[in-house]
Chains A and B, each alone.
Chain A
Amino acid sequence: MRMVSPTGFDGIAALIPKYMGPGLMTNLSDVSSLRREELSACKTNGGLYILRRREGYSLLTFLIKSGPVPELPGTVVTELVARPGDRGEAAELFESAGYHKLLRRVRLTRPAGAADGPGKAVYKASPSELSEVDRLLRSCFDPVTGCLPSKDELSLDLAEGKVFAVSVANGLAGVLRASGRREIRQLCVGEPYRGRGIAGALVEAFLAENGNGRCSVWTGSENAAALAVYKKHGFSADGYTSTVFIKR
């Protein structure tokens, strides 16, 4: 293994095509997001390992043709996405390198089709609500596995109208953060306000905004409340799953 020099997006991006080919195991998805990150990387003959700095750990993006997974510095978290038919070889490589499972997610997809329409209480959160939205998201999602946005990203999403909200007298009761028109990134309702149909109203608002087109969401495979809300609104498992692994 050796660290890649120079680091930074351009240096690392130039290496990526060298590792692409049949049999590739990767969790590289949104290449453009790498451009905004503080990156380091290391490479072996069989793989390129890109580390994004997070508070207290590194988030790993990998392109692997063959193992083993090398020893990487510090606490490392990575998410393996399995497409339908995948044989789980990447998971085996990480497990044999000492990584263990933190969380399993499933992807749910909703085909295009009419929905009930948004409840009146739902509105688009404004940039002035940044702190409140951030606080609610962080109170509902695990900081390591929750895929939470940075404050800069959230600020941009608020400005672009990608965050739907429901308020009560005391402040925010629930929010839905979308990624584009086709994916829900986070949906959460504060604990005191659960069981009142707020999550469903937020989903309906998102669907209405996007013309009731096909859309998807990743959610915890054991999060019964979330699974029930999505099922009620026409989502069902589409065969994609993911597992978050950690090595301390």
Chain B
Amino acid sequence: MEKLLEILKTVCPDVDFETETDLVEDGILTSLDIVMIVSELMASYDIRIDVDDLMPENFKSAETILELVKRAEEN
């Protein structure tokens, strides 16, 4: 989780990923932020994330993003 939080902070320095639990629904993360986050995750973890994974549910919180990364690593 520490590595993920570091990456997320690099992309969106103003977002409190440690406490926010509904980043998309609360209007904190935009669709464009999500694309930029995914770009960094793909490079940092050497994973592939498909367009179908760019759904808001996967980006509600740091926990759901970590789950997405883990699923991508298993594939």
List residues of chain A with CB under 8 Å of any chain B CB. Answer: 13-14, 16-17, 20-22, 24, 26-31, 81, 83-85, 109, 181-183, 213-216, 240
Contact = CB atoms under 8 A, between A and B. Distances in A.
Nearest to B52: A13
Closest 7 CB pairs of A and B: A29-B31, A182-B27, A13-B51, A20-B39, A24-B39, A29-B32, A214-B27
Contacts of B32: 26-29, 81, 83
Given A17-B42, A17-B50, 8 more contacts: A17-B51, A20-B35, A20-B42, A22-B43, A24-B36, A24-B39, A183-B27, A216-B27
Contacts of B14: 84
Contact of A182 (B25, B38, B40, B43): B25
Interface size class for chain B? 20 to 34
Interface of B: 13-14, 25-28, 30-33, 35-36, 38-40, 42-43, 48-52, 54
A84 B15 CA distance: 12
A216 B40 CA distance: 25
Chain A interface, DSSP helix/strand/loop, else mixed: loop
Contacts of B48: 17
13 contacts: A13-B50, A16-B51, A17-B42, A20-B39, A20-B42, A28-B31, A31-B51, A83-B32, A84-B14, A85-B13, A182-B25, A182-B26, A213-B27
